[in-house]
Amino acid sequence: MKQDLLTFADWSQPELNALLELALKVKTTPAEFQQVLAGKSLVALFEKPSLRTRVSFDIGINRLGGHMVYLDSQAGKLAGREDTLDMGANLACWADAIIARVYSHKTLEDLATAARVPVVNALCDLYHPCQALADYLSLKEHFGELKGLPLCYIGDGNNVSNSLMLVGAILGADVRIVTPAGYEPDKEMVDKARQRTAQSGGSITISNDLAAAEGCKALYTDTWLSMGDDTPLEQIKEVFMPYQLNMPLLKKSGASAVMHCQPAHRDLEITSELIDSDYSLLFLQAENRMHAQNAILISLLGQ
């Protein structure tokens, strides 16, 4: 049976830990994996722009001996041209896997239903699983133990915070999400993550109060306006500015690391001072996107 990677929601803690170990191995002993995808072709379908995801998949697949075909659905005028189910079934005629960055999670589910090959979520409205895996790989490298690790995401409750929360809950981390009132993660998403903490020993805290960041080892933020959200920045800036990730906030929390999935908006959700400081894990996260994704591809397609 083919396996898709849409959310990580159905992964167990041992499975995720094994995947992180594999990612570390891919990173440290790349020569062992040079031929894992030899003769395999993967299609990457993007409905939205991307720097990190596109390039890290393309170069990563190349390093595993495989080949990637990039499809920009807007430039190629593919959007709305045919039913998603038909598109998925067609792509599966030639490709060994489909990587897709889409507006709606439902599009991924349709692709997964129609295609007899694995589908990998490269970001949708609800999740960014590849990002979360790279983030926990970075945290593991930087701090060692993930179980009980206190980290705080500050900003907009979005796809990145959802995946950080869900994967963290499975791994047993102490994940705190602090947002302005009205920008909290969806209750359903929080419940889904909380259910996993019963077994993992992790915890999920949702708050509007920055005091929740105190005692955390790492602070994380993301853009206040995700791709596809046309709200004028001026309209939300006042609400979000008190939640900016800056040096006084970092010092107050006692954290020793700052994270951001990027693209970062300097001096909006995070200060330049922090991005350019020794506290920054931003480029470790970016580098680890490739290793994390390669581990995913090896686990889905390796044999």
Q: Which is nearer to ligand NVA, 17 or 285 (CB)?
A: 285
| Catalytic site residue from 52, 54, 260, 289 | 289
Residue nearest to ligand NVA (CB): 226
Structure tokens at 118: 């694995």
> What is the C-alpha to C-alpha distance for residues 96 and 239, in angstroms, rounded to an integer?
45
For 167, 245, 253, the CA distances from 152, given in Å and listed in that order, are: 14, 11, 10
CB 238 within 8 A of CB 213: no
From the list ligand CP, ligand NVA, none, partner contacted by residue 51 (C-beta under 5 to 8 A by kind): ligand CP
Residue 261 appears among annotated catalytic residues: yes
Q: Which is nearer to ligand NVA, 91 or 261 (CB)?
A: 261
Residue 101 appears among annotated catalytic residues: yes
Smallest distance from ligand NVA to CB 249, Å: 20
Structure tokens at 139: 């945290």
Q: Which is nearer to ligand NVA, 235 or 303 (CB)?
A: 235
Residue that has been written with the tokens 């894990």 in this structure:
281
CB 64 within 8 A of CB 34: yes
Q: Which is nearer to ligand CP, 27 or 52 (CB)?
A: 52
| Catalytic site residue from 54, 244, 261, 293 | 261
From the list ligand CP, ligand NVA, none, partner contacted by residue 226 (C-beta under 5 to 8 A by kind): ligand NVA
| Catalytic site residue from 101, 176, 196, 260 | 101
Q: Which is nearer to ligand CP, 133 or 206 (CB)?
A: 133
Residue 291 appears among annotated catalytic residues: no
Smallest distance from ligand NVA to CB 72, Å: 16
Structure tokens at 172: 């047993």
Smallest distance from ligand NVA to CB 283, Å: 15
Map residue 221 onto helix, strand or coil. Answer: strand
From the list ligand CP, ligand NVA, none, partner contacted by residue 269 (C-beta under 5 to 8 A by kind): none
Residue 52 appears among annotated catalytic residues: no
Smallest distance from ligand NVA to CB 76, Å: 21
| Catalytic site residue from 58, 222, 244, 291 | 222
Residue nearest to ligand CP (CB): 53
Say how many C-beta atoms besides its own lie within 10 A of residue 113's C-beta: 13
Structure tokens at 230: 């046309």
From the list ligand NVA, ligand CP, none, partner contacted by residue 221 (C-beta under 5 to 8 A by kind): none
Buried b (16+ CB within 10 A) or exposed e, 284-299: bbbbbbbbbbbbbbbb
> What is the C-alpha to C-alpha distance for residues 118 and 99, in angstroms, rounded to an integer?
8
Q: Which residues bind ligand NVA (CB under 6 A)?
A: 123, 158-160, 222-223, 226-227, 261
Q: Which is nearer to ligand CP, 53 or 271 (CB)?
A: 53
- CA terminus-to-terminus distance, the chain: 13
CB 220 within 8 A of CB 135: yes
> How many C-alpha atoms does 257 have within 13 Å on its Cβ side?
23
Q: Which residues bind ligand CP (CB under 6 A)?
A: 50-53, 123, 131, 261-263
> What is the C-alpha to C-alpha distance for residues 214 and 59, in angstroms, rounded to an integer?
39
Point out the residues that are catalytic: 101, 128, 131, 222, 261, 289
